[in-house]
Amino acid sequence: MPAPIIKLIETPEEMIAIETLQREIWPGSETDVVPVHVLMTAVHNGGLVLGAYIDGQLTGFVFGFPGLDATPDGARAKHCSHMLGILPAYRDSNIGFTLKRAQWQMIRYQGLDHATWTYDPLLSRNAHFNIVKLGAVCNVYRRAEYGVMRDGLNAGLPSDRFQMDWWINTRRVERRLGARARKPLTLDDFLKADLQPLYAAPSATGIWLRPPEHFSPIEGKLALIEIPSDFEALKADDFPLARDWRFFAREAFEFSFACGYIITDFIFDSGRSFYALSHGEATLQ
């Protein structure tokens, strides 16, 4: 498959194609589609819409707009990356990474050094992409971020989300987006370090992990939190168990963040998925 061509989307005609693409990627409620007039307003006021084309076909897009962070020194400008979508047939073609790299370059050109977005913390595929490939980090858990969602992918579960922080100019991000990206770490790499699993390996029910009833006080410099390796399949097969994982993960991550930990890595190894958390913010650089 040829490499995608990334194009800055600016005209109403091009925005109509982006609107149509959303319906193909996220089937469900029409109210979840960002319409043309909102996209146009955003790009006329510092927002970005980038499209990925293969052989002339629009296969993916990323959309974001300017926002503000509240800091002790007052409001600080950032980029809020709201949507990244790829047609299902092209999701293993590196299009998402290419779009995010182009977005990173545009954000730097605008003079910003921080971008944020949200995703479901129980989605292993998204975790690997956001943390391992892009170098984003997280210490913010948002309960029911979008209220009741009605699309086909999210209906029926609380819309809990991680807020990811992408520090645009850090060495961490630059290394991951460069030509010689860091090799992903394995579970063995972390087991050799001074780490603490937050809980013992969860028990299994059939092919699915059950969340543990308790987790340990967190004290070390590093910690691991295991999640189901395929949450989407779990939802389809055992929805009550998926809900149990949602509420357990909420408790585990909120507790860890309150103790001063930050997610800095993700491990997918031998069919198991783990978040790696570090104490403090030294690893952000």
pLDDT per position as a tens digit, 207-257: 788 898 888 778 888 889 999 999 999 999 999 999 999 999 999 999 999
Q: If you average pLDDT over residues 3-8, what whole number do you get?
A: 96
Within 10 angstroms of residue 11's Cβ, the number of other Cβ atoms is 10
Q: How far apart are alpha carbons 272 and 228 in whole angstroms?
A: 7
From the CB of residue 235, how many other CB atoms can be counted at a distance below 10 Å?
Answer: 21
pLDDT for res 285: 47
pLDDT band at 122 (very low <50, low <70, confident <90, very high): very high
User: Which secondary-structure segment (H or E) carries 226?
Assistant: strand 222-227
Which residue did the predictor score with more confidence, 195 or 49? Answer: 49
Name the phi and psi angles at 185, rounded to 5.
-85, 155
Contacts of 240 (CB under 8 A, 6+ apart): none
**Comparing 90-99, 142-151, 218-227, 261-270, which segment has the lowest mean pLDDT?**
142-151
Give the C-alpha separation, 39 to 20, whole Å: 13
Higher pLDDT residue, 208 or 153? Answer: 208
Q: Tokens standing for 177?
A: 């987006």
Q: How far apart are the first and last CA of the chain?
A: 35
Buried b (16+ CB within 10 A) or exposed e, 105-122: ebbeeeebbbbbbbbbbb
- Average the pLDDT over 96-122 and give the result: 97
**149 — pLDDT class (breaks 50, 70, 90):** low
What mean pLDDT do residues 25-50 have?
Answer: 92
Contact 114, 168 (CB under 8 A): yes
